[in-house]
Structure formats: C-alpha cells, structure tokens
Structure 1
Amino acid sequence: MDNQILDQIEFLAANLSNLLIGFPGQRPGGLLLSLFLAVFGIGVGFLIALLVGSGRGSRVWLIRWGSRFYIEIFRGLPLILLLVLIYQIIGGRRFGLDISPRLAALISLALYSGAYQSEIVHAGLQAVPIQLVESARVVGGNPWQVFLWIKMRYAIRVMLPAFVGQAISLFKDTSVVIVIGVTDLMTIGRAVLGSDVKNLSFWVSLYLFVGFLYFLVAFTASTLAKRSEHIQRSVDLVYSLVNF
C-alpha cells in the first residue's frame, strides 16, 4: 500500500477517539457532543413546538400572533447569528448572566429548532380530520384527551417525515457552534489539524472522514424513521383487520 495512504490512515486512527468523544479533559466533545446538541435541540424544540404550533390555531388573537411572532423571529435569524447574540449579548455580563458556550449552543439550537418544528406541528394538527375530532368529543373525550390521543396521535404520523428531515438538518447545523468555540465534531477536526504546516496533507482526508461521520448519523436516522413508518403501517393493518 502506498506510504501516503498509510500515513493518512495512521493520522485518522490516532485522532479517532478525539473526533468521536473529544479531547481528554474536554469531554464530551466531537461527534458525541454534536449528537447531544442535536438531540437536546430537537427534544426541547419539540416541547416548544407543541405550545407554539398549537397556539398558531388558537382563537385568542394574542396567543395566535405571539406564536406567529416567535416563529418568524427565530426562523428568520441565521443560526450563526443567533448563537452570537445569545452568547455575546444575552450571556454577557451586562445582563448579569454568565452563559457558557455549551449552554448558549443548547439554548440557541432549541429556540431555532422550535421555530421550524412549530410549523410542522401546526401543519400536522391542521391535517387531522374534523370528523375524527368531533367523534371523540361525542363519546365524552375532554379537550386534553382529544388533543393527546386523537389530534397528536394522528398528526405525528403526518409530521414524521418532516420531523426527520428537520432533525437531520439540525444535526448538520450543529457544526456552526464552532464560532463560539464549542468542541463539537467540526471544532475538533479543525483543532486536530491546527496550524502545523506538516498537517496540510491531511486536510482533505480528515474533512472527508468528518463528512462521512455526519452522513452516517443522518443515514441511520433516516433508515430508522422509514422502518418505524413500515412498522406503524403494519400495526394499523393488523388493527383494522381485527376490528373488521
């Protein structure tokens, strides 16, 4: 095997643990931290989206326009700008706060994700057949039961493909936290290369490997989502046959 290829493999192997879990003393970092940031942003963003997305259809104009305002603001700002604003301004000492880079990243991703997921939740709730809702009310379902067990149960099936796409997009967007020094996968990759001119020959292979890691996570999430759709369809088919 060519010596250059061996050198590339040895360089990647020597830095594999750093890329996956971060530098010693700064862990979690690397891919592990990127995953944590994405999962947190998606999870908390979904809780925000439940409130804001539901508020979009409220009969109270203040709630409806407040929800719309939130979506337009946080969806309209670039994520990189949102990170800087929260970390440098809101997290600055002038407001009496001292937010760490990681906390600023978590807050930014949750707010950013929540805005996009709110539109998905709103669209999913709008897709619920009114006849299904009315039937649940007729048999005595209270508002919370109708919302959780009828509206959300139906809407989640409609929303799942959009949610998966948004989740994958947010995972890739975690790379921008490099601007505030959070040691995610891209930050570790840049730090591994450093400023040593001897590492110039490893730039392409390192970033190709980083790209492969991003692809691997995104592909896995997409595959799992498709399988869950197939399982749900099978369950629905069995349920309909049993109750035929």
Structure 2
Amino acid sequence: MEILDNIRLDVIWNYRELFIRGVGVTIALTVISYTIGIILGLIFGIGKMSKRKIFYYPSKLYIDFFRGTPLLVQILLIHLAVIPTIFGKSLGFFVSGILALSLNCGAYTAEIIRAGIQSLEKGQMEAARSLGMPHGMAMKHIILPQALRRMVPPLGNELIALLKDSSLVTVIAANDILFAAKVVQGATFRPWEPYIFAAILYLCLTWGVTKIVTYVEKRYSTSYVPKKKRKLSHR
C-alpha cells in the first residue's frame, strides 16, 4: 500500500509523447513482421513438405535454426553482424528489428502451416489431382482454404507472442514501449511508474489482439456454425 501511495502519475504524463511513439513503433514492428512472417512461413512450410531435396533441406535448415536459437541472439546477430557485413553499415533498429522478427516469425508459422496442411486427409489432394487439377491449383483452391481453418488459433497465438517478443528489439535502441520506459526510469530514477505503465500498454495491446483472434476463430474455425441456416424446401 505504501508503494501505491507513492505512485506519481505526472511522471507518465510528462513523458506521454515518448510512450505514444513507443506504441506506434511496437505496432508497426509487429504488423510488418507478422505479414512478412506469414509469407515466409507459407514458402518454407510448403518447402519442408516437398520431396525435392533442393527445397526440403534449405527449408528445414531455416526452420531449425530460427526455432532453435534465442530471438535475442538473432536480433543482435542481424543488427551487429549480418547487415553491417552486407551493406557496410547499420541500417537502423527498424530494419534490423523487422528482419529478425520476420525471420523468427516465419520459422514458427512455417511449422504451423505445414502441420495444418498435413492434418488434412491425403485423399483431398489425390481427389483434386484425379480431376486433372495441377498440384499448385489444388493446393490453392482445395488444400489451403481447408487447412486455414485449422491454422487460425495457432497463427493467432503466434501474433500475440510476436507482439510481446517485439520488446526485445529495445536492446538495439529501438524506441518502442520498453525503450520509453527505460528512458523515463533513467531520467526520473523512478522505476515503478514507467515499467508498470509499459506493462499496462502491452496488456492492452495483447488484449485487443486476443479479441480480434477470438472473433476470427469463431468466424473461420472448423467448429463455426453459421447463425442463419438455409431452410430445406419441402417437396
């Protein structure tokens, strides 16, 4: 109770613009990285299911590496080693952060997509091919739409996890929510207010994403039943 009595809201108010900017950076990092991660996941997820070694082994190596190493190490490696080696200089926290988060997200979504596709009966693809559909067309119009319904919950969980993991980008001086809290704590020497407020901001963001994911799950999951059913006409 003594700690709560000493909480000063003016500490947060005086640095409100820093936190607002941090929320914007966090959302941008999450949305862009998740979008790229879905694309990478689709490519490497299908690649890991390929019977051709030229597609299978690079996909497996990529997935195993980014799933088997800490995200923090990946961020530092990309920001301090990979990008400076390729371009001769750092391209800033935003590029490094998006690249690291996207690659990490892509590895996890690849496994989600692979598992979702392989959860369907093999007869689905065989039936489509027997009708003369090319493999790509069958995958696009038959397999993926059905598998997507089963992928929605784990893909939603990955989005929530990515939102929280984006806080790790603060180690490369990304001005996100956690960075704002660190700046305020350093300027005021008051740790309670900025870090509690940062936790509340992350909680609000994850709560909003959770509500969106829940709606999508109810709308597109396999257990979803439309409210309005067509009535059978009587003969």
State TM-score, norm by structure 1.
Answer: 0.84
The answer on 1:211 being equivalent to 2:199 is yes
Structure 1 residue 233, shift from structure 2 partner: 5.7
Residue number among 210, 214, 230 corresponding to 2:218 in the alignment: 230
Structure 1 residue 84, shift from structure 2 partner: 1.2
Residue number among 116, 119, 124 corresponding to 1:127 in the alignment: 119
Tell me what 1:38 maps to: 30
Cα deviation code 1:49-102 (max 9, x no counterpart): 11100011101123112111111111122111111111111222x544322221
- Gapped regions of structure 1 (runs ≥ 5): 22-29
| Matches for 1:49-60 after TM superposition, within 5 Å | 49-60=41-52
Residue identity over aligned pairs, in percent, reads 23
Kindly tell me: are residues 58 and 32 of structure 1, through their superposed partners in 2, closer, same or farther at Cα, counting changes over 3 Å? same
Structure 1 residue 240, shift from structure 2 partner: 10
In 2, distance between residues paired with 1:239 and 1:133?
Answer: 31
In 1, distance between residues paired with 2:218 and 2:202?
Answer: 25
Aligned letter for 1:97?
G
The answer on 1:104 being equivalent to 2:96 is yes
Secondary structure of the structure 2 residue equivalent to 1:56: helix
| Matches for 1:11-90 after TM superposition, within 5 Å | 11-21=11-21, 30-90=22-82
Cα deviation code 1:164-211 (max 9, x no counterpart): 1111111111111111111111111111222x4xx23x3112211111
Q: Number of residue pairs matched? A: 229
Residue number among 178, 188, 195 corresponding to 2:180 in the alignment: 188
In 2, distance between residues paired with 1:131 and 1:243?
Answer: 31
- Gapped regions of structure 2 (runs ≥ 5): none
Given that 1:90 and 1:97 are in contact with CA atoms closer than 8 Å, whether structure 2 keeps it comes out as no
RMSD of the alignment, in Å? 2.6
Kindly tell me: are residues 105 and 52 of structure 1, through their superposed partners in 2, closer, same or farther at Cα, counting changes over 3 Å? same
Tell me what 2:170 maps to: 178
Kindly tell me: are residues 167 and 236 of structure 1, through their superposed partners in 2, closer, same or farther at Cα, counting changes over 3 Å? closer
Kindly tell me: are residues 242 and 128 of structure 1, through their superposed partners in 2, closer, same or farther at Cα, counting changes over 3 Å? farther
